[in-house]
């Protein structure tokens, strides 16, 4: 496909440097860089794995799960409802 493209001066300088470095043609370098940029943009970045570290919550001394209403009253006061 043939098309006209206006490239910013700073980008043109980077492409020219890459042409010199790689020894490839301008057309080949532009196509390779566009391919690289377009395929990289589509790939999601790997995320750091989220890890939950469990820990014992336990009840404060003197409290028990035996009677939930009593537990709620001790923790929240008499107006827990």
Q: Is residue 37 part of a domain?
A: yes
The reported pLDDT for the residue numbered 33 is 95
Distance CA 77, CA 51 (A): 35
Question: How many structural domains are present in the chain?
Answer: 1
Q: Is residue 13 part of a domain?
A: yes
- pLDDT above 70: percentage of residues in the chain: 98
N-term to C-term CA, the chain: 73
Distance CA 77, CA 70 (A): 10
Which residue is listed with tokens 């989220």? 50
Whole-prediction pTM:
0.51
Q: Is residue 28 part of a domain?
A: yes
> Over the stretch 34-64, which tens digit does the pLDDT of each residue have?
999 998 877 778 889 999 999 888 877 888 8
- Which is higher by pLDDT, 42 or 25? 25
43: exposed, middle or buried (C-beta count within 10 Å: 0-12, 13-18, 19+)? Answer: exposed
Average pLDDT over residues 1-8: 90
The reported pLDDT for the residue numbered 70 is 82
Distance CA 68, CA 65 (A): 6
């Amino acid at each position: 496909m043939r098309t006209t493209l206006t490239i910013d001066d700073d980008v043109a300088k980077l492409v020219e440097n890459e042409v010199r470095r790689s020894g490839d043609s301008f057309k080949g370098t532009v196509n390779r860089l566009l391919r690289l940029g377009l395929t990289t943009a589509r790939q999601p970045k790997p995320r750091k794995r989220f890890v939950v570290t469990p820990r014992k919550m336990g009840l404060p001394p003197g409290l028990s799960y035996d009677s939930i209403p009593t537990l709620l009253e001790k923790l929240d006061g008499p107006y827990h409802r």
